[in-house]
Amino acid sequence: MAEQVILREVGLRDGIQMAKCFLDTKHKLDWALRSQAAGIREMELTSFVPAKVVPQFADAEELAKYLPQLSGIVASALVPNLKGAERALAAGFTHINYVLSVSELHSQSNVRRSTDEAIDEFKRIVALKQTEAGKNMVLGVALATSFGCTLQGHVAPERVFEVANIVAAGGADELIVADTVGYGNPVEVKALLEPMMDIAAGRRVVCHFHDTRGLGLANVAAALDVGVRVFDTSLAGLGGCPFAPGATGNINTEDTAFMLESMGYSTGIDIAALLELRCDVESWLGDERYHGAIARAGLPKTFTMNS
Amino acid sequence: MAEQVILREVGLRDGIQMAKCFLDTKHKLDWALRSQAAGIREMELTSFVPAKVVPQFADAEELAKYLPQLSGIVASALVPNLKGAERALAAGFTHINYVLSVSELHSQSNVRRSTDEAIDEFKRIVALKQTEAGKNMVLGVALATSFGCTLQGHVAPERVFEVANIVAAGGADELIVADTVGYGNPVEVKALLEPMMDIAAGRRVVCHFHDTRGLGLANVAAALDVGVRVFDTSLAGLGGCPFAPGATGNINTEDTAFMLESMGYSTGIDIAALLELRCDVESWLGDERYHGAIARAGLPKTFTMNS
């Protein structure tokens, strides 16, 4: 029996947050349902940011109404602050991913708070978790720009570990280590993730890589080497970054599933079904950058899925 | 002092062998000279296949006249047979790469010989090496389709090791392990290359990866882990395969150099200079598929070269 690796599909959140067109709720639901049917077991479904900041997520509450149809999936929502966490809980989400940037400049740019102020907000979300309303909350904390930042450049690993220790000790259920701008390489991935597994002390550790500079899958392989078994991925490698013209988005779901299955891990994902879904997503979204080698070259003749 | 890794540029051979237009000798020379100036230290410069099979290399002898200008580079030539080796030697090359396919079907398709017959041809090249004309020959042997084949599918690692043992014991100076069609993954790379380093017994081992299915750089990282320090790469990821529509070519020189330098290895390569050369190559070749993340997204703000 092959060892399992979980790919958490983030196309409906990270993938479309910069898309030029608003993807209507019906298509978002179709994407989620067909991902579920294709074997995806976790999805970040939407984001509770103010609609005036990211109009794409104006229908977050509306989409949440369909959560009962998605019972085969662990559906999570991103939140930038306490207010977002309250909205997500009220809408019916239990899995919440709070983003906290380790880079001071990125944190200020993203949420107009210093990293320390963002840690204070994390503590307020933990306080919410301890109320009746929040008692079922599973709280992931994403450490954004853990491998560097397009604004401030270098981000000290010591600071990443310091923040990780604070959130792990302070009530986070899961640590999401994010290479927000695609700066990391396999050596740095091992150097950062090995201590992170210790800091997590049994909590789940998720890697969130962007393929901006082509090292996404090499970084996945490095993270596997130090024990990471959950990765954020995006259908068609969708996404982008306002600070990196021409950049790709998250690592590609289809390609990551292909690599993992080839390496002997089991993802449960039907890659052919994802490629069909991808075609429809392209027709819905129109002019975006779609990435991925398997969509271009096909699966090898020698490919078989693991079970 | 950072550990050195050598990238052998194969754009002028593998990269353009399927190009739609004939690249004239002047431009080939310009490509080679500017690669040399950008810090490239090894290049596969051309191929001594019959011009009626691959017209792109009709000027192999003509290009060889400029070898004295390329004294800063170890310039090699691919040969498919003894006749090619004789031509390459006569033209002034000393470094010769003989291609031998481990897949029976690919070997038949490529050179109309079985693998065993191709091994016999290898022995004839070794006999040439033992003559006065061949006394300076440095003979690399490329084991094509070592990770599988689009024609026959699975290629048994045992057969790869068997052939590698024969050529290592039989007079090869260098083993080039080639994933001709981009089937390999990091687990297979380690499983094949670790024994290969033993078989090579001090001879140089080169990995020749194609990025057809997006795993090229992950495979480089895996090969580094087991001690490989030489890789074939192609400017702009040029190249292609008639059996894989939409496939990319070899792993991209700029992206591989970026990954290696980021990981702390020294390549000696000026990536910015390669990006300039790449623009000119695009203007010379016209409508081809050009790949590469660094050309698209740029180097990170945090990037520095190792020395």
Which chain B residue lies closest to A252 (C-alpha atoms)? B214
By Cβ distance, the residue of A150, A215, A262 closest to B185 is A262
Q: What is the pLDDT of residue A243?
A: 58
- Residues of A forming the active site: 241
Assess B263–A contact: CB distance below 8 Å, yes or no.
yes
The torsion angle over the Cα atoms of residues B281, B76, B107 and B238, rounded to 10 degrees, is -20
Q: What is the pLDDT of residue A241?
A: 64
Query: pLDDT by residue (tens digit) across A120-147?
Result: 999 999 999 999 999 999 999 999 999 9
Let me know: does A99 contact A78? Beta carbons within 8 Å.
yes
A292 pLDDT more than 70: yes
More confident residue, A274 or A246: A274
Let me know: does A43 contact A35? Beta carbons within 8 Å.
yes
| DSSP-based three-state secondary structure for B20 | coil
Query: pLDDT by residue (tens digit) across B18-70?
Result: 999 999 999 999 999 999 999 999 999 999 999 999 999 999 999 999 999 99
**B186, A252: Cβ pair inside 8 Å?**
no
**B246, A186: Cβ pair inside 8 Å?**
no
Which chain B residue lies closest to A292 (C-alpha atoms)? B214
| DSSP-based three-state secondary structure for B45 | strand
Spell out the domains of chain B, with CATH numbers in brackets: 6-297 (3.20.20.70)
Cα–Cα distance between A9 and A41 in angstroms, integer? 8
B299 to chain A, closest Cα gap in Å: 8
**B255, A213: Cβ pair inside 8 Å?**
yes
Candidates A117, A76, A116; CA nearest to A98 is A76
Query: pLDDT by residue (tens digit) across A44-95?
Result: 999 999 999 999 999 999 999 999 999 999 999 999 999 999 999 999 999 9
> In sequence order, which residues have a C-beta less than 8 Å from that of residue B98 and are 6 or more positions away?
B78, B79, B80, B85, B121, B122, B125, B139, B140, B141, B142
Q: Which of the four pLDDT bands, split at 50, 70 and 90, describes residue A244?
A: low
Q: What is the pLDDT of residue B301?
A: 86
Cα–Cα distance between B132 and B81 in angstroms, integer? 19
Average pLDDT, chain B: 95
Which chain B residue lies closest to A191 (C-alpha atoms)? B263
Q: What is the pLDDT of residue A245?
A: 65
At A134, the amino acid letter reads G
B 123-162: CB under 8 A from A:
148-150, 153-154
Query: pLDDT by residue (tens digit) across B169-186?
Result: 999 999 999 999 999 999
Q: What is the pLDDT of residue B80?
A: 97
**A301, B264: Cβ pair inside 8 Å?**
no
> In sequence order, which residues have a C-beta less than 8 Å from that of residue A95 and are 6 or more positions away?
A74, A75, A76, A77, A137, A138, A140
